[in-house]
Chains A and B, each alone.
Chain A
Amino acid sequence: METIAMPAINLAVIMPEILLSCIAMVLLLVNVFVPGNNKAYLGYLSIIGLAVTAASAVGGWGPSVSAFNGSVVQDNFAIFFKVIFLISAGLAILISDRYMVQEDCNQGELYPMILFATVGMMLMASGTDLMVIFLGLELLSICLYVLAGWNRDNLKSNEAGLKYFLLGAFSTGFLLYGMALTYGATGSTKIQAISSYVMGNPGVASNPLFVVGMLLIAVGFSFKIAAAPFHMWTPDVYQGAPTPMTAFMSAGPKAAGFAAFIRVMIFAFPMLRAEWSDLLWILAVLTMTVGNIIALSQDNVKRMLAYSSIAHAGYALVGFAAVNAEGAAGILFYMLSYAFMNIGAFAVIILITKKGEVNGNVQDLAGFGHKKPLLAMVLSIFLFSLAGMPPTAGFIGKFYLFSAAIKAGYVWLAIIGVLNSAASLYYYLRVMVFMYMKDPEEDFEWAGATPAIAVCLLVAVGATLVLGVVPGTVLELAQKAVQF
């Protein structure tokens, strides 16, 4: 009788994912068995869980270890991204409770749902098999559909969930079709195997099956990172979703999209970098420009930030188009900074809006700077960082991305990028002008920060400034992470 060779199973490699899944499931049960309407404790437990997971993930820093027959890998690249996901999940959880209580949708399942989404993101970053990446992506997406439509009684939230679901599933179809065609053309779903097949058979680059497959995969990821012209869902979903979830979606899943995108594009198709570059810079220019231009005419702050998040994906794509180590490191750094500054900005938005998300327009911010000077200053720091002003993290990140593009010879791409970031200043500044330089039309009272939100703001402001003033260590880590 033939013996079946058991593949080496190395659970240590996926320990963070296992841990976080278990924690999420335990929390689901805890939620059922502990009575009461106050669900904040679940959030704190989740944060402890995230911290444990982060510790377990960071413990793997060092040489990369592949497991499950080359399906997942534990390398510095994945670990750096996992930390980004865990941080964005943690910050999002910190700002959730107050909002969910205010909007009467304080179900305890929220927190496990966020954790499951985080597991999905982590799988996307560490997967080296198209199958694993697909599973991670779907785990993430399904959780996000639910999170976007979390506020069941709010039509806007329903609509956001439904739109996201329909378009997300639609884009999944394309992604899967691309994976199937790539599988057909190369004979494997493992990135390593695909990569060696492509190296061994350069002719495959002109095989339409392979080219279309590759492009459809790119389209699938472009949808996830909201690159134009696959960005259309973003503003609507970001506006309709509960604000903490918008913050989460704009930081974590976007980074996860980039993680998988970089993994597939740069690992699997190293031969075709030049071809990728063409596609990527077009996406970058379109994405930045569309995001920024439409953001200019937005009055709703949340929607404005949604468009601006499209533009930020565009900046990151500039680094991607450079297809060099600096560019990839730039994306890592930028995604980390973006998580802090964007979630921070949304945290302030949560404090500004009243139940039903009224008073979310720029005009409603008039006088905010005088009533709540500290919060206004914090929001200004985030906005400056988003606009790329020194000495904030956003500046260093953009500096790095554009510098990578110039190094790769894309001077004009950097010019477009910098012009775009100059234009973006206009709408960020507009918020500040209303905060500081307009008198309110009616007397308006704003709530102060709850302790959880205060912690979130403190962490985010601290990180935004620290990453801007002493970015050395983190940049070094990011560079180590992309030494493939």
Chain B
Amino acid sequence: MFDLVWLIPLCPLIGSVINGLLGKKIKNETVIGGIAAGSVFASFMVACGILFQLLSLPGEERVIQKTIFTWIQSGTFKADIGFLIDPLSATMLMIVTGIGFLIHLYSIGYMHGEEGFYRYFCYLNLFTFSMLCLVSGNNLLLMFIGWEGVGLCSYLLIGYYFHKKSAGDAGKKAFVMNRVGDFGFLLGLFTLFYYLGTNHNVWTINFVELAKNADLLVPGAVVTTVCLCFFLGATGKSAQIPLYTWLPDAMEGPTPVSALIHAATMVTAGVYMIARMNFIFIKSPTALLVIACVGAATALFAATIGTAQNDIKRVLAYSTVSQLGYMFLAMGVGAFTAGVFHLMTHAFFKACLFLGSGSVIHGMHHALHHEHSEADPQDMRNMGGLRKKMPVTFWTFLFATIAIAGIPGLAGFFSKDEILWQAFANPHHHAVNYVLWGAGAIAAGLTAFYMFRLVFMTFFGQTRLSEKAFHHLHESPWVITVPLVCLAFLSIFGGYVGVPKVLSEFFTGGAFPNYFEHWLEPVFAYSTHYTEAHGAHGLHSVAMEWGLMGVSVLIACGGIALAFALYIVAPGFPEKFTSTFPALHRAVYNKWYVDEIYDFAFVNPCKALGNFLWKGFDVLVVDGIVNGVAAVVRGFSGILRYVQTGFVHNYAFTMVFGVALIVAVYIFR
């Protein structure tokens, strides 16, 4: 089975080529969609086979390399087109092909009737191909190829609705920002290569070789530089401070794209990359601290912004940024397993949420269309009461929301709690552990709040649609609901592969071990040994772990309760006053108004902060800097071009000036 690993990326590539070249002629949506989804399903089957075969091997033998051919061989530099199969890449392959298949399937329904249907699937398959190269490549350069490839496909898909100017702009923004991160990746690659090569005569960019020689990496400035360069790459791809602003804008793309690329797979590439090279990162406490702090800050920061959004997809976008922050927090505190675990569970519930929101938007769009209404189908203020009309969407969405909120028993709880515990108890950053944990815990509360706010505003209460439009609202077809059900199922039960030890011992006496940790153990063995060998000890207190778990659950429940109070209980509350205070009646009759009043009274402290951070910091400062740099460069370009006067004299003069300058420098120094 391992010999067939090359089929995994190849199938989607073939699908992409077929659809790209012949799609326009095929025209039949079922055929096009079938080719695309089928190719990914084939990859999924191969990935399953590899997973099972890998499981049958003993733990220490679970590293298999399959080289297809030597790509570049020149002097000391060698890069193969080759694949690395180990528990980490197998996990990623399963996530990418499995969720990828569900989203392909979903897209057939969602994109029905869109212009350029074939183009969409061509890009989507191409993306799957690049992503699979990224996670299965056995060397840094191949990973980089995938890294650039997913960026390109992301750009193409964000700009899919190119008639909208904002879509094109968002695509460009994402691409250029990603390129800024990519250059960090490249620099890290070069520096690592030459550092090992010139100092230790180990010329390699192969992951297995690098891991074997990890002892040669002496902690110090160079290793820290390498790590920070790679991390810069990760901030671009995985939307962390300061390069995250492209992700909310990326919501201009079709919703399944947001689910696949901007929630489940591509944006987690940075996390994967750090996990893949954990043996380097563990050598640099500085880099780990930076990663942990950036992760925690992003988690908290994006969560506050999430509370102030009204566009259903934007809420989810900021939520994704925030959850990615958790993953980086996990990486930064050396809890690689927990980070990858959260990556997986997040892929389940966030894909489910995005697809659910897509189903809602799909329904809203049709309902509004019937009414010829110009209202925004993505604005939650236009929704409400959808649960009666879209029961499948509602229930799957609700379970995914409970999962992300961190309610015990669902996937998100296990992974998030593990990260929070590690943030508190890890042996790396004793001084700031409390801060890291605090930021994570508050973000968890905010997450619960804004997610339930979303659910309440969308599915509960009275509808804010007109009666006619509401009448036309209906549940989505099966190609949309089946993936939703699958993902909701995974959101509920997917976490049981990685139940924390304390819980397992308490409830089952240890009979139900943490399979996931055990599974990934060999990948992170080096880092674990390294940490222990250097006498760094984390906190081991069962009582403390229970206590913190309780606190984080309480915070999450608090968030839900607040959302419940503000968006379910309170909206009914003002109606009692209508007869006594007719003046107030008008004000509160309109739900909009109510929202604003309650915003003013209760949510504002939080919302104002969120708004401030969003409008003030995010839009003005971060966007300002990024756009500002671009604007300055463009402006500079506009000015500099006037140097090119077109007059021979000026050109000749510049030359003479250059000659004089160069000669003067060399003569007089």
Whether the pair B666, A215 counts as a contact (CB closer than 8 A) is yes
Minimal beta-carbon separation of A436 from chain B (angstroms):
7
Q: Is the CB of A418 within 8 A of B187?
A: yes
Considering the complex, give the chain A residue whose CB is closest to the CB of B20.
Answer: A377
Once the chains are docked, how many angstroms separate the CA of A233 from the CA of B651? 7
Contact between B72 and A208 (Cβ–Cβ < 8 Å)?
no
A472 and B73: CB pair below 8 A? yes
- B309 CB → nearest A CB, Å: 27
Interface of chain A residues 382 through 397 with chain B (CB within 8 A): 384, 389-391, 395-396
Chain B residues contacting A229 (CB-CB under 8 Å) are: 654-655, 657-658
Instruction: Decide if A423 touches B149 in the complex (CB within 8 Å).
Output: no
With a cutoff of 8 Å between Cβ atoms, the chain B residues found around residue A174 in the complex are: 655, 659
Q: State how many angstroms separate the Cβ of B637 from the closest Cβ of chain A.
A: 4
Stretch at the interface among B346-354, B393-401, B559-567, B641-649: B641-649
Q: How many residues of B contact A (CB 8 A)?
A: 57
**B179 and A425: CB pair below 8 A?**
yes
User: How far is B667's CA from A425's CA once the two chains are assembled, in angstroms?
Assistant: 39
A12 within 8 A of B: no
Interface string of A208-237 (1 = CB under 8 A from B): 100110011011000100000110110110
> Known contacts being A229-B654, A407-B194, A437-B162, is A326 close to B75, with CB within 8 Å?
yes
Q: How far is the CB of A332 from chain B (nearest CB, A)?
A: 12
The stretch of A121-129, A145-153, A288-296 in contact with B is A288-296
- Give the complex CA separation of A389 and B193 in angstroms: 21
Contact between chains at A414 and B190 (CB < 8 Å): yes
A290 touches B74 (CB 8 A): no
Instruction: Give the nearest-CB partner of B78 in chain A.
Output: A472
Segment at the A interface, from B168-176, B277-285, B517-525: B168-176
Looking at the complex, which one of B175, B634, B646, B662 makes contact with A296 (CB distance below 8 Å)? B634
Q: Does B70 contact A (CB under 8 A)?
A: yes
A403 touches B183 (CB 8 A): no
**Which one of A279, A436, A475 contacts B662 once the chains associate, using CB atoms below 8 Å?**
A279
CB <8 Å contact, A437 and B655: no
Question: What are the residues of chain A within 8 A of B536 when measuring CB–CB?
Answer: none
**B180 within 8 Å of A (CB atoms):** yes
Quick one: given A279-B662, A411-B187, are A422 and B179 in contact (CB under 8 Å)?
yes
Interface contact A230-B655, CB-CB below 8 Å: yes
Least Cβ–Cβ distance between A221 and chain B, in angstroms: 13
Alpha-carbon separation in the docked complex, A215 to B643 (Å): 25
Which among B70, B75, B190, B640 has the greatest number of chain A C-beta atoms within 10 A?
B190
The answer, yes or no, to whether A429 is at the interface (CB within 8 Å) is yes
Whether A18 sits at the interface, judged by CB under 8 Å, is no
A234–B657 Cα distance when bound, in Å, is: 17
Q: Contacts A230-B655, A297-B638, A479-B74 hold; do A163 and B648 have CB atoms under 8 A apart?
A: yes
A110 to B640, CA, bound (A): 36
B634 contacts across to A, CB distance below 8 A: 296-297
DSSP majority for the B interface? Answer: helix
Q: How many residues of A contact B (CB 8 A)?
A: 68
Judge whether A418 and B176 touch: CB under 8 Å: no
Which of B198, B637, B638, B650 has the most A CB atoms < 10 Å from its CB?
B637
B654 contacts across to A, CB distance below 8 A: 229-230, 232
* Interfacial chain A residues near B148, Cβ < 8 Å: 389-390, 395
* Min distance, Cβ A467 to any Cβ of chain B, angstroms: 11
* Chain A residues numbered 165-192 whose CB sits less than 8 Å from any CB in chain B: 166-167, 170-171, 174
Given the complex, which residues of A lie within 8 Å of B658, measured CB to CB? 219, 229-230
B655: chain A residues at CB < 8 Å are 167, 170-171, 174, 219, 223, 229-230, 232
Contact of A167 among B71, B190, B652 (CB under 8 A): B652
The interface residues of chain B lying within 8 Å CB-to-CB of A373 are 24
**How close is A204's CB to chain B, nearest CB, in angstroms?**
14
User: With the chains together, A472 CA to B654 CA distance in Å?
Assistant: 41
A476: which of B24, B74, B636 is its contact (CB, 8 Å)? B74
Known: A229-B658, A233-B651, A390-B149. A418 touches B633 (CB 8 A): no
Interface residues of B in 92-145 (CB under 8 A from A): 141, 144-145
Q: Report whether B162 and A219 are in contact in the complex, using a CB–CB cutoff of 8 Å.
A: no
Residue on A with the closest CB to B659?
A: A219
Whether B648 pairs with A479 at a CB distance below 8 angstroms is: no
Q: Check A68 for interface membership: any CB of B closer than 8 A.
A: no
Closest to B650 in A: A232
Note all chain B residues with C-beta closer than 8 A to A216. Answer: 659, 663
Bound CA–CA A439/B168 (angstroms): 13
Given A218-B662, A390-B148, A439-B163, 15 more A-B residue pairs with CB atoms under 8 Å apart are: A166-B652, A171-B655, A219-B658, A229-B654, A230-B654, A232-B651, A232-B655, A279-B666, A296-B637, A329-B74, A399-B141, A471-B72, A472-B71, A472-B72, A476-B73
Residues of A in contact with B (beta carbons under 8 Å apart): 163, 166-167, 170-171, 174, 208, 211-212, 215-216, 218-219, 223, 229-230, 232-233, 235-236, 275, 279, 290, 293-298, 325-326, 329, 373, 384, 389-391, 395-396, 399, 402-403, 406-407, 411, 414-415, 418-419, 421-423, 425-426, 429, 433, 436-439, 469-472, 475-476, 478-479
| CB-based closest 9 A-B pairs | A437-B162, A232-B651, A229-B658, A418-B183, A296-B637, A297-B637, A475-B74, A422-B179, A406-B190
Contacts A/B (CB < 8 Å), 18 sampled: A167-B655, A216-B663, A219-B662, A230-B654, A232-B655, A402-B186, A403-B193, A406-B187, A406-B194, A414-B190, A415-B183, A418-B183, A426-B172, A437-B162, A438-B162, A439-B163, A471-B71, A472-B73
Q: Which residues of B contact A (CB under 8 A)?
A: 24, 69-75, 77, 141, 144-145, 148-149, 152, 159, 162-163, 168, 172, 175-176, 179-180, 182-183, 186-187, 190-191, 193-194, 198, 630, 633-634, 636-638, 640-641, 643-644, 646, 648, 650-652, 654-655, 657-659, 662-663, 666-667
